[in-house]
């Protein structure tokens, strides 16, 4: 019985999904759940989503700035051009940043992890979101 229990625990740990990625260079923790590659939402929904997000009792998430999103782009890779530690990414579409786009008050910057390009997008469009949290 003890061996079966130990094997079950080991299998559960091995199959556990990573939901956060810590970047020791920037002291940021990034959300890496299936939501980051499955659900497109508007800018306002993305802000609310991050502000209310809880992952394994960890709260205090927010929408990242453009500069923060660019720290996880890996320009030596393509499709996806994101650090290899991330498991969930949808390339070919923009991820929201909290940085306003200068051209319009209704647009915000975003990053496409297909190749690391940036673009401004209307707050009313649906895009993906990857929340971030500072390490204390």
Give domain limits for the chain: 21-134
Collapsing DSSP to helix, strand or coil, 25 comes out as: coil
Q: Is the pLDDT of residue 16 over 70?
A: no
Classified as helix, coil or strand, 11 is helix
Q: What percent of the chain has pLDDT over 90?
A: 78
User: End-to-end CA distance of the chain, in Å?
Assistant: 42
pLDDT higher than 70, residue 48:
yes
Instruction: Read off the tokens for 30.
Output: 């990034």
CATH of 21-134 among 3.10.100.10, 3.40.190.10, 3.30.230.10, 3.30.365.10: 3.10.100.10
Tokens of 23: 């970047």
- Rounded Cα–Cα distance for residues 106 and 78 (Å): 30
CA quadruple 129, 82, 111, 30: dihedral positive or negative? positive
What was the pLDDT predicted at 114?
A: 96
Question: What is this structure's pTM?
Answer: 0.85
Mean pLDDT of 102-114: 94
Question: Which two three-digit tokens encode residue 108?
Answer: 């915000």
Rounded CA-CA distance 8/45 in Å is 39
Query: How far is it, in rounded angstroms, from Cα 129 to Cα 53?
Result: 12
């Amino acid at each position: 019985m003890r061996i079966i229990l130990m094997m079950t625990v080991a299998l559960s740990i091995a199959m556990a999904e990573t939901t956060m990625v810590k970047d020791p260079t920037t002291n940021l923790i990034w959300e890496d759940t299936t939501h980051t590659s499955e659900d497109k939402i508007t800018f306002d929904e993305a802000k609310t989503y991050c502000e209310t997000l809880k992952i394994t009792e960890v709260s205090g998430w927010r929408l990242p700035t453009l500069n923060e999103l660019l720290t996880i782009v890996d320009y030596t890779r393509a499709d996806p051009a994101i650090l290899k530690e991330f498991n969930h990414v949808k390339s070919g579409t923009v991820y929201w940043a909290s940085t306003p786009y200068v051209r319009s008050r209704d647009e915000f910057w975003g990053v496409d992890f297909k190749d690391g390009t940036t673009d401004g997008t209307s707050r009313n469009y649906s895009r993906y979101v990857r929340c971030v949290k500072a390490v204390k």
